[in-house]
Amino acid sequence: MNERQDKPQTTPSLRESWGGPNNEQRTYPDDEISLKELILKLREWYRYLLSKWKPIVLAGILGGVLGLTYAWLKKPVYTATTTFVLEDEKGGGGLSQYMGLAAMVGIDLGGSGGGIFQGDNIMELYKSRTMLQKTLLTEADFNGRKQLLIDRFVEFNELRKGWDKKKELKNIQFTGDPARFSIKQDSLVGEIVKSINKNYLTVSKPDKKLSIIKVEVKAKDELFAKQFTDQLVANVNNFYVQTKTKKAMENLAILQHQTDSVRRELNSAIGGVAISIDANPNANPARQVLRVPSQRRTVDIQANTAILEELVKNLELAKVTLRRETPLIQVVDRPMLPLEKNTVNAFLAIMAFFSGFSFLTIIFLSLRRVIYSAF
C-alpha cells in the first residue's frame, strides 16, 4: 500500500475550521457563522429568556393593569357629523344672450367671470381662522345655560388651570366682539383655532366625483361637538352664499334704485300734466304759450316711460341672474343626540400594554446580558 492508503483521512474540526490552533487551516472568514452555531446560539438565548419568565410575565401583568386603568380613565370622544350637498350652477344657459344685450347698453348683470370660490375651496373656508373664530364667539344653549362656545371649550379642556398660574392670563375673559380683544386674547383664540384644526375638525369629500361635503367635529364634550358643528356649518354656508351672490346683489340694488327713481319722475310728470290742464281748462287756442307746460310734461312722460320699460326688463333679468348665481346648499344629515361615542376597548388596551411591557422587558434583559458578556 502507498502512504495515502496507510494514513486515515481526517476532516478538520469545527474549532480548526474557524481559526483554531492552526490558523492556516481556517476555511471560513472571521465574520461568518455556520448554521449549526446559529441554531445553538438561538437555543441558548431561548433558554436564557425562558429562565427569566417570571420578570417578563410580571412586567406584562403590570402593563395589563396599566392598560385597564387607561381604558377606565380615558374619556369617550363624541363625533358630530354633518353632510350637505353643494350645487353651484356655473353655466350661463339661455341667459347669456340677455346678459350680452345688457352689456351692450352698459349694464352688468353679474353673470360673467369666475367666482371667488371654485371647486373645493369651500372646504378650506371651513378651516379658516375667520370662520372658526366667529363660531367660537357665538353664544349657544347648553341645557338652558347660555354660554360662548369658546368658554365651553376652555371649560371641558380645563385650560384655566394653566392660565391661573400666569398673572396676565388669570382673569382673562372673552366677549362676542373680537374688535375689542387685547393681544393676549387674540393670541389665545389663535391657539385654540390651531388646536381645533389639528385635533377636532375634519372636512372631507367622501366621494371625489360627488358634491357631498362631510364635516366632523370630535370632542370629549358631547354638547360642544353638536353645537359647534351646527354653528360652523351655518356660518360658513351663509358666508359662502353671500359672497357668491354679492356682485349680483349689488347690481340688483342699483337697478332697483334706478327703476324707483324713474318711476317717481314718471308719476310726477303725469301729475304735472293733470295740474296744467286743470289750471287752464278752457285755454285760448290763440295763446300757444298756455300749452307749453303740458307739452313739456308730456315729453317727460314719454321719455320716462321708455326708460322705465328698459329698466324693468333689466331688473327682471338681474333677479333671474341672482337666483342663478345663488348656490344650492342642502343639508343631508345633521348631528342628533346622542352622538356617536368612541371609547377605548378594555381588552385591547390590556393586551396592548401587556405585550408592550413584556417586549420591553425582553429587550432590557437581552441588552443586560450582552453588556455583561462583553466585560
What are 354-374's pLDDT values in tens digits?
999 999 999 998 898 888 887
Residue 224 pLDDT class (50, 70, 90 cuts) = very high
Percent of the chain topping pLDDT 90: 36
Residue 147 pLDDT class (50, 70, 90 cuts) = very high
> Which one is predicted more confidently, 119 or 178?
178
Question: How many whole angstroms separate alpha carbon 162 and alpha carbon 148?
Answer: 20
Question: How many whole angstroms separate alpha carbon 233 and alpha carbon 134?
Answer: 12
Going from N- to C-terminal start, the domains of the chain cover: 54-74+355-364, 77-245+328-342, 251-325
Q: Does the pLDDT value for residue 5 go beyond 70? A: no
- Please give the pLDDT value at position 235: 93
Q: Which residues contact 15 (CB under 8 A, 6 or more apart)?
A: 21
Q: Which residues contact 181 (CB under 8 A, 6 or more apart)?
A: 174, 175, 189
- Please give the pLDDT value at position 134: 95
Question: How many whole angstroms separate alpha carbon 360 and alpha carbon 90?
Answer: 60
- Please give the pLDDT value at position 23: 44
Q: Does the pLDDT value for residue 82 go beyond 60? A: yes
Q: Does the pLDDT value for residue 115 go beyond 50? A: no
- Please give the pLDDT value at position 285: 57
Q: Does the pLDDT value for residue 225 go beyond 90? A: yes
> Residue 249's closest CA among 324, 307, 185?
324
User: DSSP labels for 199-261?
Assistant: IIEEEE-SSTTS-EEEEEEEES-HHHHHHHHHHHHHHHHHHHHHHHTHHHHHHHHHHHHHHHH
Angle at 51 between CA 49 and CA 57, to 5 degrees: 75
- Please give the pLDDT value at position 220: 93
| 3-class DSSP state of 79 | strand
Residue 193 pLDDT class (50, 70, 90 cuts) = very high
Contact status, residue 240 vs residue 327, Cβ threshold 8 Å: yes
pTM over 0.75: no
- Please give the pLDDT value at position 277: 60
Cell of 304: 320716462
- Please give the pLDDT value at position 294: 59
Backbone angles phi, psi at 36, to 5 degrees: -65, -45
Helices (H), the chain: 3-6, 14-17, 35-51, 53-73, 96-104, 121-126, 129-136, 149-156, 160-163, 183-195, 222-244, 246-279, 292-325, 346-374
- Please give the pLDDT value at position 199: 94
Q: What is the CA radius of gyration of the chain?
A: 42
| 3-class DSSP state of 29 | coil
Q: How distant, in Å, are the alpha carbons of 145, 195, 266 from that of 132?
A: 22, 11, 50
- Please give the pLDDT value at position 274: 63
Residue 291 pLDDT class (50, 70, 90 cuts) = low
Residue 14 pLDDT class (50, 70, 90 cuts) = very low
- Please give the pLDDT value at position 166: 87
> Which one is predicted more confidently, 212 or 138?
138
| 3-class DSSP state of 147 | strand
What pLDDT digit, counting tens, does each position of 149-173 carry?
999 999 999 999 889 888 888 889 9
- Please give the pLDDT value at position 301: 77
> Helix 35-51 and helix 346-374: axis angle, to 10°?
120
Contact status, residue 86 vs residue 369, Cβ threshold 8 Å: no
- Please give the pLDDT value at position 58: 94
What pLDDT digit, counting tens, does each position of 242-280 carry?
888 888 889 999 999 999 998 888 888 777 666 666 556
